[in-house]
Structure 1
């Protein structure tokens, strides 16, 4: 405890000591300068200044002092060098003791709080006074001066420095004890006295990081059986007593170097320096000790899960495997010990088995009660109108070839490892893709976030890809929408996969946890949009949001894949939205064998033809709807140029059915006068009131203003936009007019929120 306190004091004292001692160097230089103003023979200035760089070097050594004894030695050396410097500077003065007296009083007082330990203080102070008296002993002085000097040193200097040192030492000690007590409380479960979960995980991480190569570490996870019934029937006091007794049993049956923790509720964890066999023996011993604890209705029992640490594995992964074994112990009858499951397979071994399959046919891989198989669903480049890739989807097959329902194949169960199934799927898909995938086509492999960020898996997957004769550049890793990894971890992992040549895709953007921050941090090459986004429309209108979303992702440097294309209308929308790749039942269902693409090519080509034919029709519909407003706006402009008042000039236009308001903007985009409301004008809702007044704003950043200025004298119609003044989709028809006082933009805002209205073909 004392050693820890002194090390902690050293951390706190370094900055203070550095600043104080550096200031003393400056004070010493002032002392040297003051000596030059006094008559009398003096030691050459060069000798007197020699002490200053030595003191400065000692100050620079303070931040590098790693031990308390070195810190104290630097302090002693500093005080002695300072004493020598003072002695050199007072040679030749008439009253040397008076020159040295302030330093002999002030220096021990200022240095007192800086000594880390009482030993440092006594040694440093004694050496300082001894050196000072030795250097001054040969000087002649009067009796009165001796008395005054001793009075200042013995009555003021020494007691004050002692008070300062021990007062500051006591303050540091109390602060350290309080800090230690708070740390202990933060790391301890108050009921049992064991480590809490946070402290246990932190200590376990340190042990794993510092463990020697080849060292074996295991984790035991245990849960008290039927603990809830104990609380419900006999009260929480009985439950607390049982928890305390279990904690005592764990402490008695484990070694001092083992970490024991109550991780929550009635769950406990033990980390011990032993292999799986030794940990199982310890768990059996703990199970027997707990079974001897009485409860009001009999004896206590507990279920145990044991797992051994694997190289490169985090503590959380180790505890997860121990927890999985604990669940199996619970499900298999309680009051027993279950060991972790051995790794189900080594992917490279599976691929080797595939390569040696008879007749070159892919061997089936057995998983629990069925076999794993690959079905491939094509992805088409809409612009190229051809298959460019295939997503590999995992399927389960019975012995007779019938498919296992997905809810059975992917159902969570205590005896399965989702990560192991994910890794197995990669080996199975790669083995099947070797013989079924067309040349130069991409293979899309789904991968869980937890697998994606697993240590060393990028290297292992690259080796698997090369083992089947593919190149990593042909493999796109599709990160599934799932828990299991932070965005920072996935971003770092993505860089490792890219270094091997893999491409990265993010699946199901627009669902679950997907968001733009996740995309911009991972920076995938492709983004797969959730199928529901094809059918999504803007609030209160029938217009799809897909085109804008695709444009946003393209601006971010990402290619776009749309999933779930099931109808011809959805295919047409995907083409019209400039989507890069499409996937869905309309283009091809997942199947073990790859279907020929000719019919799909014709379907995509038909979609392009429909869009080409419809674009002109859409443009004509929009123009026919807007043209009356253009004509009326030109007439209003002519009237304004003749000097007609705004209300009269806009009188006809303001009666048109969709007119929200007519307005005039100056050259800076600010509204001139009041707007003239039309039939579509509605009182603004209360929530939009702060932005409802268009006269408070500048509008020269709006496209309808800029386009009018670029085409003076031409009435231009904008694309639909969400109006700040009304909260509705609107379009603006605007015209730049040159008046005598300067250029202005006149315009009319039209309510475009009604269903069925044509939108510009370019939008």
Structure 2
């Protein structure tokens, strides 16, 4: 083609050497310039259609240039005949497809022959013209064209294939991430004010287990099936992509409600796909495009919603977070409660949100120290919305939106109703707690309500919604603002000991069932030990669900710091006077003080016969009586499991003498039933006896390795000729009704 341009310029130069009228040189050079520009455009073409169109234009410009160049010559045919052969041959590469070739060639000869037929021709010249055209020009160009067509066609097909591969995920046939983002940017650039666009992010649940357990072939087939669902059930104008791994994205020309409906439809369709151990499920996050934001910001918000769907149990759809505040105060939303204070209600769906407060008491100080804010829904007439309706899970809703809305409601009401020196316990979902930037937002809300973060205790609810690492990092951010941290319902569901030790809350709220929990066999409460453990870990303890006087007494006796429950105050819109509760707590302390001495007396009277018998056994051993005879009176006591002697290192000397409790119950933990294999100087009953030589000491109850039952030990350090030893008796203390030390 470049050669054709050069040949045309040579023809223009030759024409200037011929006398006679001629078309202005500028017109002919303009034709040459257009031809050169078309040649330069050829490398940037991306389709056969454009390439062929350039060829057609090129040939028409060339024909026009030849016509302009031969105007005014005496023998125009002599100038045109070579061109009519050479031009189709040289231009053959332009005709990329057969359709292009026949169209372009026909147009060329039609234009040229129109010029030829415009002048009278003799028979011999006409014969020569048609011989050049039919015998040389057309056959040569046909051969040249189809030879080049094969090469050029493969080149274009290869380019097209490479472009498609670069934009397509080979496994599913969907767009890949790069092509998706590029197309999405084009869609957003073309948006008008009336158009809405939403993004759907989805992730196959537990996909790694599918690959690990059943192989990658099964995983690949699952990805393909999900892709088929997306292609079949999304609108034709939607962009669908496999973003990477088991993640997919859909860009939809619809608002948030339409996108949520489509996501729910896709969730159901994917849940119908079978996998070897059940059915596939997927979690979805949906976000609507906001004016001015980029595609990456939109995808990030959809991805954040997807993470909440994962953390809140999977196989669900979560929408983007609504911007704070989530609720609006409406006309007539204030109502007067007892005492003249104003309680505010906020519109939410078809009812109002309001706050009820339940008091928490410091048992040692015997006074109200805080209030837990509990969310309630009310109809226009003041009737409460049942919790089962208000908190019912909605697959396409953002449960975090209601959580954040509750914070706005509670802070507004707490600033009006709570005493100035009281804590506000604010419930918060784990997913909300770890949300990026929410610590800063909540701090602003607290101060806007006239409170300080130091007065707010964030109570992390027992729920899915975040890893322990995420919550630990988030807790540090909230503490920087001054918030205190509490963990709710310890001992239930997700709230375990590992969670406490990683988050390090300031307070731990024990599930109400732990008050009623007892040790196996004896029926003694486990609360005192649990409180002691948490205190040693540096955490204050709140007991929830205190409903009876006996439970309050147990909480006081267990050294609980704070208590909450119906006995101390029910949740209400108004703050109840605390005086009657103060008397109840004070009465509980009196009961404990009176019972402690009685409990001590009962325990001492129960173990004193064993102390007397042990001292008698020690005296007998010192006079040389053999072990079996010395321990014989002691071994006849009903609760005696065994009598033993330990050397200075805590190892057993000789055999133990079994008592009735041993022979009756027998040893249940066979691998550790033989005490002679062990060393016991780390046990309190050994250490305390060594510290008080000559005094018969009694241990607190413990679980015996030898018998697997709650036991106590009575021990005495005795100086023998070969060194000091500790003699003792282990007593079965598993029967119900036996007194325990007052400290327990």
TM-score normalised by structure 1 residue count: 0.61
**CA 1:345–1:670: 2 relative to 1, 3 Å:** closer
Contact 1:722 1:729 in 2 (8 A): yes
Partner of 2:96: none
The 1-side partners of 2:416 and 2:424 are apart by: 12
**CA 1:566–1:244: 2 relative to 1, 3 Å:** closer
Please say if 1:734 is aligned against 2:715. Answer: yes
Deviation, structure 1 residue 541: 1.2
Match of 1:604 among 585, 588, 593: 585
Count the aligned residue pairs: 516
Aligned ranges for residues 46-57 of structure 1 at < 5 Å? Answer: none
Deviation, structure 1 residue 514: 1.4
Partner of 1:153: none
Match of 2:345 among 349, 353, 364: 364
SS at structure 1 position matched to 2:711:
strand
Query: CA offsets, 1:618-659, max 9 Å, x none?
Result: 000000000000000000000000010001100100001100
Deviation, structure 1 residue 315: 4.5
**CA 1:344–1:370: 2 relative to 1, 3 Å:** farther
Query: CA offsets, 1:141-183, max 9 Å, x none?
Result: xxxxxxxxxxxxxxxxxxxxxxxxxxxxxxxxxxxxxxxxxxx
Please say if 1:746 is aligned against 2:727. Answer: yes
Deviation, structure 1 residue 316: 3.3
Aligned ranges for residues 22-41 of structure 1 at < 5 Å? Answer: none
Aligned ranges for residues 61-460 of structure 1 at < 5 Å? Answer: 190=171, 192-194=172-174, 218-220=198-200, 244=228, 247=231, 253=237, 259-260=241-242, 269-272=248-251, 307-308=287-288, 313=300, 315-319=302-306, 343=322, 346=325, 361-414=342-395, 416-460=397-441
Partner of 2:539: 558
TM-score normalised by structure 2 residue count: 0.63
**CA 1:705–1:217: 2 relative to 1, 3 Å:** farther
Q: Identify unmatched segments of 5+ residues in structure 2.
A: 1-164, 204-220, 266-283, 291-296
Contact 2:362 2:368 in 1 (8 A): yes
Match of 2:459 among 472, 478, 481: 478
Partner of 1:570: 551
C-alpha root-mean-square deviation of aligned residues, in Å? 4.2
Q: Which has the larger radius of gyration?
A: 2
**CA 1:398–1:341: 2 relative to 1, 3 Å:** farther
Deviation, structure 1 residue 468: 1.1
Aligned ranges for residues 501-516 of structure 1 at < 5 Å? Answer: 501-516=482-497
Query: CA offsets, 1:74-131, max 9 Å, x none?
Result: xxxxxxxxxxxxxxxxxxxxxxxxxxxxxxxxxxxxxxxxxxxxxxxxxxxxxxxxxx
Query: CA offsets, 1:686-716, max 9 Å, x none?
Result: 8621111000011000000001001100001
Partner of 2:595: 614
Please say if 1:724 is aligned against 2:705. Answer: yes
Q: Identify unmatched segments of 5+ residues in structure 1.
A: 1-183, 224-236, 288-303, 331-337
Deviation, structure 1 residue 728: 0.3
Deviation, structure 1 residue 405: 1.1
The 1-side partners of 2:703 and 2:225 are apart by: 65
The 1-side partners of 2:377 and 2:229 are apart by: 48
The 2-side partners of 1:489 and 1:579 are apart by: 29
Please say if 1:666 is aligned against 2:647. Answer: yes
Contact 1:219 1:279 in 2 (8 A): no
The 2-side partners of 1:707 and 1:456 are apart by: 55
The 2-side partners of 1:644 and 1:242 are apart by: 85
SS at structure 2 position matched to 1:650:
helix
**CA 1:630–1:279: 2 relative to 1, 3 Å:** closer
The 2-side partners of 1:660 and 1:756 are apart by: 19
The 1-side partners of 2:593 and 2:692 are apart by: 27
Deviation, structure 1 residue 516: 1.0
